[in-house]
Amino acid sequence: MEGGEEGIGRSLGELRQAFKSRRTRSVGWRKTQLQAILKMMDEKEDQIFKALQQDLGKHPAEAYRDEIGVVKKSASYSLSRVGKWMAPTKGRIPLLFFPASAEVLPEPLGLALIFVSWNFPISLALDPLIGAISAGNAVVLKPSELAPACSSFLANTIPLYLDSNAIKVIEGGTDIAEQLLQQKWDKIFFTGSQRVGKIVMSAAAKHLTPVTLELGGKCPTILDSLSNPSDIKVAAKRIAGAKWGPCSGQACIAIDYVLVEHKFASTLIEYLKKTINRFYGENLKTLKNLSKIVNKHQFERLRNIIEDPAVAASIVHGGSLDEKNLIIEPTILLNPPLDSEIMTEEIFGPLLPIITLTNIQDSIEFINLRPKPLALYAFTKNEAFKQRILTETSSGSLTFNDAMPQFVCDSLPFGGVGQSGFGRYHGKYSFDTFSHEKAVLHRSFLIELEARYPPWNDFKLQFIRFAYKFDYLRLVLLLMGHKLKGIFTSGHQD
């Protein structure tokens, strides 16, 4: 879809007209679009693989796990439940309102704008889109220009499958993004950095537009000293998988650093080295199953981080770089300076700092002294320690003895807290994010409680006191008393 002010204006006009026609509200339209997404993912799987390989060097297995599979699962889940989600739910109301009934009716917000991040350019486009469609909205997708092959795929393919009058893809760089933000939207959904998230939120404030911000931050992992070698091996695999597996660490929920006791650090490092060699290989030139760094700018940013002399001195494994192919070897660092960039900023790359503590219980204070993370992972068999982590830390999600599976669970909300973002999605939570729950109350003309109206007196004050307490016994006694006269009237005022 063409950009520019004139093109954007035309596109938004068509979208508003489509939403105004009310066709996006029907369950038939919603299901048809969800079925079309599933069909597109089946028929265009090879094109998606190629686009993800071109932009990010993702192996087809990684691409299916993190992109195609995520979308198909989400679309199927929503397709089977959207009719139920749309239905009004009965609202419980006080007996004081009798005769009356109430319901909560989900309705679409209207015109939604979805900004897509470059690291998962297919799933982070279509997963929120599934929620917006399920809720009955008209939608604009703005893919990231940093993943051009995937952006082009979405722009050229979505109109072939979905309702092009109600769902549009607008490509472009920061200039197009700025023009889109100048428009009035009913919902903005953004996935990306905290820096850009602040810009989006500031622009949305001009129109009081509700915003969901899926940001990120430094996601810590607490590793308790595990005595069973098989447990250590499993933990090392899961840590490695959640650090280097998702787009070579270029993921908001990837492990950012590990907290471990001094005495256990060498054991962890040895297990991680073995796991890295098994998963990815031992030689930078022959590494496999590892995504590339997205572009030269990000590569140089990561190079600068590990070429800081104090940080470079902490490297205990890896550290090699292939500038030509934008590959950085899985790298482990032991106790880099806490005031260095690698420990103060989100890494978003294949660098894993390990920070040692005298007592693993101190990890809670370590985490609480820093901004709230999007995800917190903890490997421990200590139930008391689990309870402390649960009650004494705050994070978007908390996973024990694994890392990252919470992201693909449709029954759990996904979202941040504090600087890691706000709002949530996945499954029914996606539907709710793009919906307004309208309260509907139906009253009768049969009974009128005059105590709710002036002129005020002591009797009415007492009546109101009991009414707000829902103290029906005292209300009945009050009404049966000598002040009953005048409370139930037919057109008569005090």
Marked catalytic residue, from 62, 67, 171, 214:
214
The reply to whether 247 belongs to the active site is no
End-to-end CA distance of the chain: 66
* Half-sphere exposure for 144 (CA within 13 Å, toward CB): 22
CB 225 within 8 A of CB 263: yes
Cα distance between residue 5 and residue 309, in whole Å: 48
State which amino acid sits at residue 274: K
Q: How many CB atoms lie within 10 A of CB 422?
A: 17
Catalytic residue among 62, 219, 252, 329: 252
- Spatial CB neighbours of 137, under 8 Å, sequence gap ≥ 6: 19, 24, 108, 109, 110, 111, 112, 186, 187, 434
C-alpha distances out from residue 207 to 13, 18, 211, Å? 18, 21, 11
Pairing state between β 100-108 and 89-90: antiparallel
Active site residue 150: no
Return the active site residues.
214, 252
